[in-house]
Amino acid sequence: MDGIDFIGDIHGCSAQLERLLQTLGYVRRDGVYQHSERRVIFLGDFIDRGPEQRRTLEIVRPMVEHGRASAVMGNHEFNAICYATPTRDGFVRPHIEKNRHQHAAFLAEYPFGSPEHRDAISWFMTLPLYIDTEAFGVVHACWCADSFRILRPHLTDTGCLSERTLSLYEDESSGVHQAIETILKGPEHPLPPSFAFTDKDGTPRSEARLKWWTSSDLAVSQRLEFGGARLSSERLAELDLLPQPRAHPAPTKPVFVGHYWLRGEPGPLSERVVCVDYSVAKGGKLAAYRWSGEPLPVRDNFVCVS
Ligand SMILES: [Mn+2]
């Protein structure tokens, strides 16, 4: 079997992407990066934040279209689709200041409603929400069999969204909405009202991010993340008295994700879960995991450029 290089969130950092591909031994021929024995699977989040949105898509898209790479959808591509999809009285993702700001770098290079913008959105629609093979799994944020089961009847035969799926997503109480949020943005764990906190951006929150790859043998406080906010040791001790968050069964094959803006020296998150997002658009690194079929991923197989 040919090897696969899993590449994490790029967010418009095309210079780092080209350097990473070259470091991995890919050569550009007829405008398409390629390798004689390997291919790439991109983890999504190609757009927003970074300096070269268009250049990034001009590298990634030909690789996918020429069979040199596959890609799954990230929450930023999903948000871009929702931002561009009209409803009866607005858009699936409202054009409010916060959403416009988050999407500004992309819209600067793909003016809203322009032919290039429409073309990019229709390409995003061709990205599957996850890839499930016998040997490995790929999803942007959370490997969740229950969410896949809910979504499957609503996806196309290539695992993609349809207009109908988007209209189901509009209903925030629907199973489809929650499943898409879980797999593309990661599961959140509701906290009792006394635990409401303010994250590092000053936004009040009543839910913590669940590190779904952690085992329920760990203390509750070690399984949750508070948007960069630090809780006092007393509060953490109180959290440990709460019931354990929902368990996500440990995968039985390697699972590759992005999304988590990790820092520091790359390594697997758990025995079989690998995150390849090392915050390139916030001064970190663009990361890849060079996989050659090993059932247990190892630290040595990460390759990064900063
Ligand atoms: Mn993401």
Per-residue confidence (pLDDT) for residue 35, from 0 to 100: 97
Distance from the alpha carbon of residue 185 to the mean position of ligand 1, in angstroms: 6
Q: Tell me the average pLDDT of the chain.
A: 95
Instruction: Provide the residue type at 206 as one letter.
Output: S
Per-residue confidence (pLDDT) for residue 246, from 0 to 100: 82
Distance from the alpha carbon of residue 72 to the mean position of ligand 1, in angstroms: 11
Per-residue confidence (pLDDT) for residue 155, from 0 to 100: 97
> d(Cα 185, Cα 144) in Å, to the nearest integer?
12
Residue 199 confidence (pLDDT) above 80:
no
Distance from the alpha carbon of residue 292 to the mean position of ligand 1, in angstroms: 25
- Taking only the tens place, the pLDDT of each residue in 16-66 is 999 999 999 999 999 999 999 999 999 999 999 999 999 999 999 999 999
Distance from the alpha carbon of residue 220 to the mean position of ligand 1, in angstroms: 24
The helix (H) or strand (E) run that includes residue 273 is: strand 273-275
Using CA atoms of 221, 224, 228, 231 in order, give the dihedral in degrees to the nearest 10. Answer: -20
> d(Cα 88, Cα 195) in Å, to the nearest integer?
37
Distance from the alpha carbon of residue 276 to the mean position of ligand 1, in angstroms: 11
Where do the domains of the chain lie, and which CATH numbers do they carry? 3-187+248-305 (3.60.21.10), 188-247 (no CATH)
What is the share, in percent, of the chain residues with pLDDT greater than 90? 86
* 248 contacts 143 by C-beta, under 8 angstroms: yes
Residue 1 confidence (pLDDT) above 70:
no
Strands 273-275 and 255-257: parallel
Strands 255-257 and 137-139: parallel
For 197, half-sphere exposure in the C-beta direction (CA atoms, 13 angstrom radius) is 21
The helix (H) or strand (E) run that includes residue 6 is: strand 3-7
Distance from the alpha carbon of residue 10 to the mean position of ligand 1, in angstroms: 10
Answer with the residue of higher pLDDT: 205 or 185: 185
CB-based burial label for 251 (10 Å; 0-12, 13-18, 19+): middle
Report DSSP state, residue 249: P
Distance from the alpha carbon of residue 65 to the mean position of ligand 1, in angstroms: 23
Distance from the alpha carbon of residue 114 to the mean position of ligand 1, in angstroms: 25
Distance from the alpha carbon of residue 61 to the mean position of ligand 1, in angstroms: 18
Per-residue confidence (pLDDT) for residue 98, from 0 to 100: 92
Distance from the alpha carbon of residue 129 to the mean position of ligand 1, in angstroms: 13
Distance from the alpha carbon of residue 32 to the mean position of ligand 1, in angstroms: 25
Distance from the alpha carbon of residue 215 to the mean position of ligand 1, in angstroms: 23
Distance from the alpha carbon of residue 277 to the mean position of ligand 1, in angstroms: 9
Distance from the alpha carbon of residue 43 to the mean position of ligand 1, in angstroms: 9
Residue 295 confidence (pLDDT) above 90:
yes
Distance from the alpha carbon of residue 76 to the mean position of ligand 1, in angstroms: 6
Distance from the alpha carbon of residue 73 to the mean position of ligand 1, in angstroms: 9
> d(Cα 74, Cα 165) in Å, to the nearest integer?
16
Which ranges constitute the DSSP H helices of the chain? 14-23, 53-65, 75-84, 97-102, 104-109, 115-124, 145-151, 163-169, 175-185, 220-223, 233-239
Distance from the alpha carbon of residue 180 to the mean position of ligand 1, in angstroms: 12
Per-residue confidence (pLDDT) for residue 204, from 0 to 100: 84
Residue 200 has a CB neighbour count (10 Å cut-off) of 10
Instruction: Provide the residue type at 262 as one letter.
Output: L
Answer with the residue of higher pLDDT: 227 or 171: 171
Distance from the alpha carbon of residue 130 to the mean position of ligand 1, in angstroms: 14
